[in-house]
Structure 1
Amino acid sequence: MRYQLIFLLFTFSLFGQENKSYKYFPFTDICNNESDYFDCEREIFEKEILGLITPEIENDITQKMIDNKTSLTFAFVYSPNKSIREDIDIDFLNEEIKVKIIQFLLQLQPYPSDENLEDTIKAKRFEFVFIKNSENKLFIASDELLKEMKFKSEFKFIERPYPIECKNSIDIESCINKYFSSHIVKNFRYPNKALRKGIQGKVECNFYIDKDGSIVIKELNGPDKILEDEAKRILNKIPKLVNATIKGVPVKVSFSIPITFKLD
């Protein structure tokens, strides 16, 4: 079993993107649909980053890539009605792009709002995976392509969530995987109705660990609702975990695990 950070990625060509100047952060003046805000916010950053890449920079990146791919990751902290803090973390193999991204973030002004916003520190983390196509050109990988590649995030700039049992573990990743596997085995129960009907298969479970460490189920995809309901029951029995943080700020992190129901 493996777990992963889930990011919604899009595929863009590097050049020919529409140039647009962004003045405020958060981008609530542009991304005004709450349910689609994350996708919209991410798309803005993607377009901005791609617009910074010149042919010279593209050539430098492609020469330094390992296995035809590389990740660009950055994280920053801000507060409502305040600018992004200067202690921005960024990891990438091209120094010029790193400088340009930091300059872009620091020039963003806090979005003016009359609303009573919660005055707490907030953290953001983004990861963009660049790959080369058959013509040796750069693209940002789509979510579907990353799944095909079995790409796994390295959790840069984020303290991952973990069960309290794994607090002192030397290999935190292995401990977390064993914890989820053990929980599923311990609480697994094949639904009688599914047994009678001969229903079997895999339920893909997408959920996130909230800022307080609780499990919030986002989506369950299986061959039958009976199995999906059982997977939901199993996940809901997971005790609160130690929440993830970026620069000490609590954040929520998405996970994806399969639960397989197989008849002998």
Structure 2
Amino acid sequence: MEPKKNPKADLNKDIGLYFAIGLVIALLAIYIGIEHKTYDPDEAFIGMMNVDEELDEEIPITEQLQTQPPPPPPAAPEVIEVVEDEEEVEETVVDDTESDQDEVVEDVEDVEVEEEFEDVDVPFAVIEDVPIFPGCEGVAKSQRRACFQEKIQKHIRKNFRYPEIAQEMGVQGRVYVNFVIQKDGSIGNIRMRSPDKNLGKEARRIIDKLPKMTPGKQRGRAVRVPFSIPITFKLQ
């Protein structure tokens, strides 16, 4: 039996092509609809300005008004009258002090210039002539420094007494004593650094018992000599 339809009239033959064309047309219409923009006629020219008109605008020149009158001219200087001095001034004549070749110059005796000496303290370590502790007078000058220190240590051992209250409390330590041997050989300006007031009191008592000495000398003059020594308090 022969088919009733014409094979050329089959609509399903190109259905895929027609679908693709329709899809492209639809996507193109959607894209144009999204990208298309509309503008308000009243807002289309906002922000524009005519530059030529602004450049051609003429700025009027203003004149500065003078609110205050000009200052008056300065007054003419006073005429100074010169008056001649009628009083005669006696001229002072200075004699010539230059000597002639024939003039004999007498010898002038040498003038002794007293050297200025500053009254300063000279440390025991650098003084020229150290203070002399009683008993060191017959020692050579080069040995007097060692003799002085030996006598000081002997004096401390001889007069040393441990404070009873410090012993009971178990206090011990080292007291650093500083004093000055004055120009007359006496002891003064005693200062100390102590861990306990009782130990410091005993150290001061020992230093107060130091005898008067022969003062130290610098350039032949008596000077004050600072000296420092530690005193150790240690329980047995």
Classify the TM-score, shorter chain: 0.3 to 0.5
The structure carrying a bigger strand percent of its residues is 1
TM-score (structure 2 length as normaliser): 0.47
Q: Which has the higher contact order (CA 8 A, sep 6+)?
A: 1
Between Structure 1 and Structure 2, whose CA radius of gyration is higher? Answer: 2
* TM-score scaled by length of structure 1: 0.43
Q: Which has the higher helix share?
A: 1
